[in-house]
């Protein structure tokens, strides 16, 4: 069974600082990987996805993620965060041909002035 581990439940950071949100997955076969963002009292929005090809994936709002097959990781990064980036971030995994995504437990990013 596929699984996703988000290593940090909360990440506090100051505005304009860089941030990395960590995600590890368990699978020995091909994977599709996703990062979603959930702003307070809203649904989830897709930030970026990795299907194949270049291991560095760029998404919306200045976020990017790097797929590392040997480390089975897909960490999310942003070089300079804004207050408006305060939200919960979810990593998700699936495989080609699978019908569903499996989500991690989420990481709350708290950006303060």
Partner 1 sequence: NAGVTQTPKFQVLKTGQSMTLQCAQDMNHNSMYWYRQDPGMGLRLIYYSASEGTTDKGEVPNGYNVSRLNKREFSLRLESAAPSQTSVYFCASSAGTTSNGYTFGSGTRLTVV
Residues making contact with partner 1 (CB under 8 A): 6, 9, 32, 34, 36, 42-46, 49, 51, 90, 92, 94, 96, 98-106
Minimum distance of partner 1 from residue 45's CB (angstroms) = 7
- Residue 108 near residue 7, CB atoms below 8 Å: no
Minimum Å gap between C-beta 80 and partner 1 is 26
Q: Which is nearer to partner 1, 41 or 113 (CB)?
A: 41
SS3 label, residue 24: strand
Minimum Å distance from CB 113 to partner 1?
26
Q: Is the separation of the CB atoms in 13 and 25 below 8 Å?
A: no
Q: Distance between CA atoms of 4 and 2, rounded to whole angstroms?
A: 7
In whole angstroms, what is the distance from residue 93 CA to residue 45 CA?
Answer: 15
Q: CA geometry: angle at 85 spanning 94 and 16, to 5°?
A: 125
Distance of closest approach, residue 102 Cβ to partner 1, in angstroms: 8
**Nearer to partner 1 (CB atom), residue 63 or residue 90:** 90
Comparison of 19 and 47: residue with beta carbon closer to partner 1: 47
């Amino acid at each position: 069974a596929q699984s996703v581990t988000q290593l940090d439940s909360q990440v506090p950071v100051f505005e304009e600082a860089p941030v990395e949100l960590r995600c590890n997955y368990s699978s020995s076969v091909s994977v599709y990987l996703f990062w979603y963002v959930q702003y307070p009292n809203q649904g989830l929005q897709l930030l970026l996805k990795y299907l194949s090809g270049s291991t560095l994936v760029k998404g919306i709002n200045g976020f990017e993620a790097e797929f590392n097959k040997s480390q089975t990781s897909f960490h999310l990064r942003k070089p300079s965060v804004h207050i408006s980036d305060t939200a919960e971030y979810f990593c998700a995994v699936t495989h080609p041909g699978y019908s569903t995504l499996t989500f991690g437990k989420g990481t709350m990013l708290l950006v303060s002035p």
